[in-house]
Amino acid sequence: MKWGVLQFPGSCDERDALNACEVSGAQARLVWHESRDLDGLDGVVVPGGFSYGDYLRAGAIARFSPAMEAVAELAAGGGPVLGICNGFQVLCEAGLLPGALLRNVELRFICRQVDLLGAGSSSPYLEGIAPGERLSIPAKHGEGRYYAPEETLDGLEATGQIAFRYATGHNSNGSVRDVAGVTNKAGNVLGLMPHPEHAVDPLTGSTDGRRIFEAMARFAA
Amino acid sequence: MSRARVLIRPKEGILDPQGKAVERALPALGFEGVEHVRVGRMVELEADDPARLAELCEKLLANPLIEDYEIQTL
């Protein structure tokens, strides 16, 4: 398994994402936003940060980058794509994932460890993460309030596209139905607001983030 | 070139915490009786082909899932 990790002007978590791919047993290299070259890569991580300064709306400009065109092709071909935080926002803006991320309900930037629960995703890439499995992962964002219209949410629940929910008391951004992460219909594109790439070493308190990288790499291999 | 102004606001029914924060601050400053405050964005531009502005709004300036837009030609 070889991951590409996108790098936009304003990305800031790409190094940790590279490290997370590697400690989870895969290889990884950076992909500059102006490059369409995903040769030799099996999957892509769209990392956190503030791509293009979050101008207009978070993720709105990044979605038009050449690298994102290549990511859309990879996703259409069934390759795994993992969007974290700003990467989740980019994937929603690009239409690769349903919904949108809005300003946190309390208007404050949130930086804290949160508990996520496996939501019974139907994605083959998340096999091995059981419904109700608890993952301790840091969250840090100002615009993480997941929103989709009610009928869309009903559809996502029916098709098993809700990947993660915030545990009770951990939904501090005000996301609808406690949604922390969703997949596309095929299950190969996953986006979530908290940062699994920051939870891969006991030094920082939790290694639960590895579970997500390992699960995606296992299915891709 | 024709000049235009695009007003972008959160869709009705979507919680707008910025609008709420402004609304809550007003009484403390002595402005009573102000409600339904919504905070959006305004974009001014000049375009060769104003007929394409709606498409431009749909694709970039607004996210139609969460925002409404209004084009005013000047």
> How does pLDDT run across A79-103, given as a tens digit for each residue?
999 999 999 999 999 999 999 999 9
Q: CATH number of the domain that B68 lies in?
A: 3.30.1280.10
What confidence tier does A218 reach under pLDDT thresholds 50, 70, 90? confident
| Chain B residues with CB-CB distance to A107 below 8 A | 17-18, 21
Q: Do A3 and A14 meet the contact criterion of CB atoms below 8 Å apart?
A: no
Mutate to test the interface with B, among A93, A101, A103 (most CBs of B within 10 A): A103
Nearest Cα of chain A lies from the Cα of B66 at a distance, in angstroms, of 7
Total domain count, chain B: 1
Contacts of A96 (CB under 8 A, 6+ apart): A71, A72, A75, A81, A83, A184, A189
Residue B50, token pair as written in the block: 């104003």
Q: Which of A150, A181, A182, A147 is nearest to A166 (CA)?
A: A181
Active site residue A12: no
Nearest Cα of chain A lies from the Cα of B22 at a distance, in angstroms, of 12
Q: Do A3 and A44 meet the contact criterion of CB atoms below 8 Å apart?
A: yes
Active site residue A197: yes
CA distances from A5 to A42, A197, B58 (A): 11, 12, 29
Total domain count, chain A: 1
Selecting among A85, A93, A141, A170, the annotated active-site residue is: A85
Q: CATH number of the domain that A160 lies in?
A: 3.40.50.880
Q: How many beta-carbon pairs under 8 angstroms link A with B? A: 30
Q: Do A149 and B16 meet the contact criterion of CB atoms below 8 Å apart?
A: no
Residue A12, token pair as written in the block: 């800031």
**Mean per-residue pLDDT over chain A, rounded:** 96
Nearest Cα of chain B lies from the Cα of A153 at a distance, in angstroms, of 13
- State the SS3 of A164-188: EEECCCCCCCCCHHHEEEEECCCCC
- Which domain range does residue B30 map to? 2-73
A146-186 confidence digits (pLDDT tens)? 999 999 999 999 999 999 999 999 999 999 999 999 999 99
A167/B contact by beta carbon, under 8 A: no
What confidence tier does A220 reach under pLDDT thresholds 50, 70, 90? confident
pLDDT of residue B1: 87
Q: In sequence order, what are the beta bridge partners of A206?
A: A201
Rounded CA gap, A82 and A178, in Å? 20
- The complex's ipTM works out to 0.88
Rounded CA gap, A130 and B26, in Å? 48
- Which domain range does residue A114 map to? 2-220
- Residue A45, CB half-sphere, CA atoms under 13 Å: how many? 34
The beta-carbon neighbor of A102 closest among B60, B61, B66 is B66
Is residue A192 scored above 80 in pLDDT? yes
Residue B2, token pair as written in the block: 């024709």
